[in-house]
Amino acid sequence: MNNGSSDSTALSAAERDRTGPVRPPTAVPVSPNTVPARARPAGAADASGAAAVDAGPGEDAFANPLYARFVTDLLGIVAYGELSGFERLSSDARFSPSLADRAGLGRLAVQEFEHFEMVAAFLADLGITIEDAMGPFQASIDAFHERTRPGDWYESLMKAYVLDAFSGDFYRALADSFDPRTRALISAIDSGDGAAHLQRRLKEALSDDPRLASRLALWGRRLVGEALTQAQRVGIEREYLAGLLFANEPSHTQHTTALFAQLTRNHSRRMGALGLTA
């Protein structure tokens, strides 16, 4: 198994099957302040001697099997997250306190399923089935939702808000690491008004019931803690996403810590905007 040489991109499928998983030669930058290595030609070494994962300008990034696998894994998580979101919102809509809430959550559920279909079409164009992409993450994401099962409709609303906003922050932090086609897909998924709608409805609920504030504040803290733990767990379980969060380079801890700290700060600001303590 190649541990950093640019020759790893030349492995055939059969060779990869014999040797086991291949970790990406260098990390995809995770800190919003980190400059990606996109300016280097494909396979060119950086100052440390490691090869870049992404393809150079003007090249098909997916010609690099390591990059293709990395994006497939990430989009598998995105797709299953959107499919799960559709299922949860559809179910939550039935217990809404008003017809307006029922329609609002139903509309958001439709958007989630549209996002799922966008990812499915994107992967199909690459010759990858959506089921194959999502499969490795189903058990882990299902377990996360079991650990964060809401106690009532308002906790469901807060969960949808926190996860939607957390995911958007995460995608934006990684945007510059993607090829233009993948970046456009992620941008389209992140362009909806779901978070804004959920925030407005939560503000209304909190203004009508001040006693709800302390309960939802505690619930929000638990959700973001579980989301950060889930991101770390998936990064460990899947070697290509581990290249994103836990790369074998001297600064990987700093990059990962900076990203998670930014995600936590963003969550705190959103809770503050709701009048809650994060």
pTM listed for this prediction: 0.73
Q: What is the pLDDT along the chain (278 residues), one digit of tens a residue?
A: 333 333 333 333 333 343 333 333 333 333 333 223 333 333 333 333 333 344 433 358 888 888 888 889 889 999 999 999 999 999 999 999 999 999 999 999 999 999 999 999 999 999 999 999 999 999 989 999 999 999 999 999 999 999 988 888 888 887 777 899 999 999 999 876 778 889 999 999 998 787 899 899 999 999 999 988 887 777 656 655 555 544 555 555 666 777 788 888 888 998 988 888 76
SS3 state at 158:
helix
Distances (CA, A) of 214 to 205, 208, 222, 277: 13, 14, 13, 8
SS3 state at 260:
helix
First to last CA, the chain: 44
SS3 state at 73:
helix
Q: Show me where the domains of the chain are located.
A: 6-273
Question: What class is the 6-273 domain?
Answer: mainly alpha
Picking from 78, 146, 170, the residue whose alpha carbon sits closest to that of residue 118 is 78
